[in-house]
Structure 1
Amino acid sequence: MKEKWKIILALSAVAVLVALLAYRIFFYAPPVAVIQAEEGKVALEVRGPGVVASRIQVTVSTRVTGTLKVLHADQGDSVKAGQLLALLDDTDTAAKAGSAAAAAAASQRNIAEADAALAKARADRELAQSNFRRDEEVFRAGYISQAAMDAAAAALKSAQSGEANAAATLGARQAESQASAQEAVYARALHSFTRIIAPMDGLIIVRDAEAGDVVVPGSPIFRMVDTSKLWVATRIDESVVGHVEVGQPATIRLRGGKELPGEVARINRQSDAATRELEVDVAFREIPERFAIDQEAQVVIHAGEEKGVVIPASALFQQGHAFGVLVVTDGRAAFRPVRTGPSDGERVAAREGLKAGEAVILRPAGIKSGSRVRAVTGGER
């Protein structure tokens, strides 16, 4: 009798388990938190990484070959336009400038001598011309001979030739003086190039040379930037860069955590073939007190807002190659592909695939499309 009851109890237990399993499989619907999709607006924020840069970056070099004698600036220094940054050894250029100046002064003296000679030759020609006219008058009256007249004509011709030679000499001396003056200007310019001065107000970010180094034209001595024109060179994906316009406000977050206001200053129209990104330069509205060129930063460009069906970002997931959400329809979860629009980090605008009023599952992880569910509203987003 006891054995019979044991069998009955065992069969009863199995029946209960089968019933529970059947209920679980065919009738049980676990509760899931849902929210109704609704019409709304989502701020259009375009995000991208970047680095701090300056719109104006200058390499300070020399225009003549020479040895660096002394440096008056170092990296990290703020300098003003025209400030002396370095000096080259000017022994040779100073000597050449002095020699050229002396040659220019000597050529001026030569001009003065040639001018005096021309004045004398002009006076001799005027005297010979006066004598010729007087002798010509008395020759007509028969008071002097033909030989005397011929001598007066020869004297006039000689005086005229002397004046022409003196004028030519003066012209040559003037040309020599002009060339000497140009040589003096050139020598002074070369000597001035031994003084390396700041081309603008700015910050020296790199010093590439030391005292005693031999530098040549084009070799960098300093690198400096204009700190009044700082921006962040930001990389923006080409799929969203169409929303960006010059003048749009932005928020710049430096790696140290400080946030500063910015503004889109320039949009590069050349896309990187590898990353499919474009450079967008976002200028600082307030220059940070502490910064470093090439410092990493994150930029959020506030590109307006978009109307549409709004859902929580947590409801989105990827199934296969499609992005979408799970909606509750007739007590079952159903995958719904959606085409998304802008997102503010918490909410997303669904441009296609959803209608306002549909129940969207907030946390779809672990829920399969087609499974029974029981929608529960008011869950955390």
Structure 2
Amino acid sequence: MSGKKDSQGEDVTPQRTGEPDDKKTVSPMPLASIAPIGDRSRETSKPEGAVRPPSAPRRPGRTVVLLAVGLLAITAILLSIRYLVPKPAKLMPVGTGFFQAELKGPGTLDAINKANVSSSLQGVITALHVDRNDVLRKGEIIAEISADDLRAQIGVARASQEAARKAVEAAYADSRRAEATLANARSTLAREMEMQRTGASSRSALEAAQTAVQQGEADLSKAQSFIRQAEAQEAQAAATVEMNQAQLDKSVIRAPIDGVVVARDLNLGDVVSPGTAIVELVDPSSIVLTARFDESAIASLSQGQGVKITFNSQGELPIDGKVLRIGREVDTETREFTVDITPQRLPSNWAIGQRSTAVIAIEGRSDVISVPASAIVRKDGHPGVWAVAGGRAAWRPVELGSIGGNLVEVRSGLNKGDVVMTDPKRVYAFMPVARSESRP
């Protein structure tokens, strides 16, 4: 094999590995390529054009494998806990029995006889004689309104009435004078007519007597007209006095009914306007509970039915009552109607608008499937129960009926012998359930 030679004819063919060192030709290293002592970066640098040996391929890390195994183990543990370990729950076997249906509805205290006492005049309250919880009788004074202008007007009206009365008296006097004058003229005419027949009187004297009679009749008619006019003016003045007196009487506010003052909205010195309530009166004997029920229950109610009333704000025992009247109008939005209930007694502390609950018992029935109200669970607005079969929980839709105390009638969806959870909490499908049965 012939080697390569440079321009001077020297052999520059590289030596093969394994050949003796004396056969190698070493090119001198440039001084610039020599790194200073301590410069590690230059010591490890590769000459330009050097080929780096390929690195060995990396294998999957053991960490990833361990993580995957751990996740699978955790998932298996969670699934075993969720679907293998039974959860204790209150269970009840479904059966049939006697069921007493009840209607329950919210209500508020109201009164049939009540009055918002106000003034028909505008003015300042100069006297206020009542306060909350005062018991009043009809006609008692509640408040007084300033009415100085009305008193002045009634004084003027009474003066006008007196002047009209005197004008009537003068008209009657004029009428009596006219009557006397007419009577004298008629007597004179009679004498003249008698003398005219005997020839003792002249024709002119007779005519003068006739004219005097006509004049007297006209004066009497005029006097009587003045009487009627004066009497009309007197009646008008009297009516004005009566009207002003009625207005003045309105400045004194009186109780329109017997009752208790349940509210006082204005104070002494306030300006009252027509229609503004000063106090609210309520007749305690007319207090009723106005309860609301769904329209589906209207056929089950009748006047005189017994009712149990429980007030939400008091811990007293239920109060007995009776249905007084049934409303004949259903609310178009809530589809509810009202029932007025008369309580046998009022609570120790009562207030108009106080909330309560009315429970009306309806006829009892036998062979009815019912479950506690706490067992009902709604999904998407549909009622259902969590039934237990084979130790697993499953949600079952049901059709509900009437309510009776803490029980709810189930018309369909359950059969005798089924087992339901009476207090389902955090229940899910196929959840293992411990079969510890207990009736609520």
TM-score by length of 1: 0.79
CA distance 1:308–1:353, change in 2 (3 Å): farther
In 2: Cα distance, 1:207 partner to 1:68 partner: 13
Residue 64 to residue 375, structure 1, CA distance change in 2 (3 Å): closer
Pair 1:341 & 2:401 matched:
yes
Alignment partner of 1:38 out of 65, 79, 96:
96
* Cα distance, 1:35–1:339 mapped onto 2, change above 3 Å: same
Structure 1: segments with no counterpart, 5+ residues: 1-20
Once the 2 structures are TM-superposed, how far is the Cα of residue 191 of structure 1 from its aligned partner?
1.4
Distance 1:221 1:33 in 2: 60
Q: Structure 1 stretch 47-56 or stretch 73-82: which is displaced more?
A: 47-56
Q: 1:294 aligns with which of 353, 359, 365?
A: 353
For residues 318 and 51 of structure 1, the distance between their equivalents in structure 2, rounded to whole angstroms, comes to 29
* Matched residue, 2:329: 269
Tell me if the contact between 1:68 and 1:89 (Cα under 8 Å) persists in the aligned partners.
yes
Q: 2:114 aligns with which of 57, 60, 66?
A: 57
Distance change in 2, residues 1:257/1:331 (3 Å): closer
Which residue of the other structure, out of 241, 248, 256, is the alignment partner of 2:314? Answer: 256
- Count residues with an aligned counterpart: 353
The answer on whether the counterparts of 1:326 and 1:364 sit within 8 Å (CA) in structure 2 is no
CA deviation vs aligned residue, 1:19-57 (integer Å, no higher than 9, x gap): xx9xx98xx9x9995435224232x22222232222233
CA contact (8 A) 1:66 1:214 kept: yes
Cα-to-partner distance string for 1:198-247 (whole Å, 9 max, x where unaligned)? 11111222222222223232222222222222123333334545534443
Aligned twin of 1:12? none
Q: Which residue in the other structure is 1:192 paired with?
A: 249
Distance 1:319 1:37, change over 3 A: farther
Pair 1:169 & 2:229 matched: no
Name the stretch that deviates more: 261-270 or 141-150. Answer: 261-270
> Which string of whole-angstrom CA distances, capped at 9 and with x for unpartnered residues, describes residues 263-308 of structure 1?
33342513152x4444433332213331122222222233443445
182-191 vs 122-131, which deviates more?
A: 122-131
Q: 1:145, 1:31 → 2: CA distance?
A: 141
CA contact (8 A) 2:89 2:421 kept: no
Output aligned runs, 1:196-345, within 5 Å.
Answer: 196-254=253-311, 255-258=313-316, 259-265=318-324, 266-267=326-327, 269-271=329-331, 273=333, 275-313=334-372, 314-318=374-378, 322-325=382-385, 337-345=397-405
Question: Residues 231 and 170 (structure 1 numbering): CA distance in 2 closer, same or farther, change over 3 Å?
Answer: same
Identity score, percent? 28
Deviations along 1:167-217, one digit per CA (max 9) or x if unpaired, are: 011010111111011111112111111111111111222222222223232
Structure-2 change in CA distance of 1:88 and 1:335 (3 Å): closer
Higher strand content, 1 or 2: 1
- Give me the whole-angstrom Cα distance separating, in 2, the residues matched to 1:47 and 1:55: 23
Say which is worse superposed, 149-158 or 131-140, in terms of deviation: 131-140
Shift of 1:124: 1.7
Q: Report if aligned partners of 1:107, 1:173 keep a CA contact under 8 Å in 2.
A: yes
* Distance in 2 of aligned mates of 1:208 and 1:190: 23
Matched residue type, 2:403: S
SS in 1 for 2:369: strand
Corresponding residue SS for 1:221: strand
Q: Secondary structure at the match of 2:199?
A: coil
Q: Residue 389 of structure 2 contacts residue 419 of structure 2 at CA under 8 Å; is this kept in 1?
A: no
Aligned to 1:85: 142
1:375 Cα offset (Å): 7.6
Q: Partners in 2 of 1:372 and 1:222 — Cα distance?
A: 65
Partner residue of 2:199 out of 112, 131, 142: 142
Residue in 2 that maps onto 1:3: none
Amino acid at match of 1:59: N
Sort the Cα spacing of 1:294 and 1:364 in 2 relative to 1 into closer, same or farther, 3 A.
Answer: closer
Residue equivalent to 1:158:
215
Go from structure 1 to structure 2 and tell me whether the alpha carbon gap of 1:363 and 1:66 turns closer, same or farther (over 3 Å shift): closer
Q: How far apart, in 2, do the equivalents of 1:31 and 1:284 lie?
A: 42
Say which one has the larger Rg: 2
* 1:2-31 deviation line (CA, Å, top 9, x unaligned): xxxxxxxxxxxxxxxxxxx9xx98xx9x99
User: Aligned partners of 2:202 and 2:236: how far apart in 1?
Assistant: 52
Q: Is the 8 A contact 1:81 1:200 kept in 2?
A: yes
TM-score w.r.t. the length of structure 2 is 0.70
SS in 2 for 1:235: strand
Using a 3 Å threshold, how does the CA distance of structure 1 residues 148 and 219 change in structure 2: closer, same or farther?
same
- Go from structure 1 to structure 2 and tell me whether the alpha carbon gap of 1:333 and 1:59 turns closer, same or farther (over 3 Å shift): closer
Evaluate the alpha carbon distance shift between residue 285 and residue 368 of structure 1 in structure 2; reply closer, same or farther with a 3 A threshold. Answer: same
In 1, the alpha carbon distance for the partners of 2:112 and 2:309 equals 16
The whole-number CA distance in structure 2 between the counterparts of 1:152 and 1:232 is 90
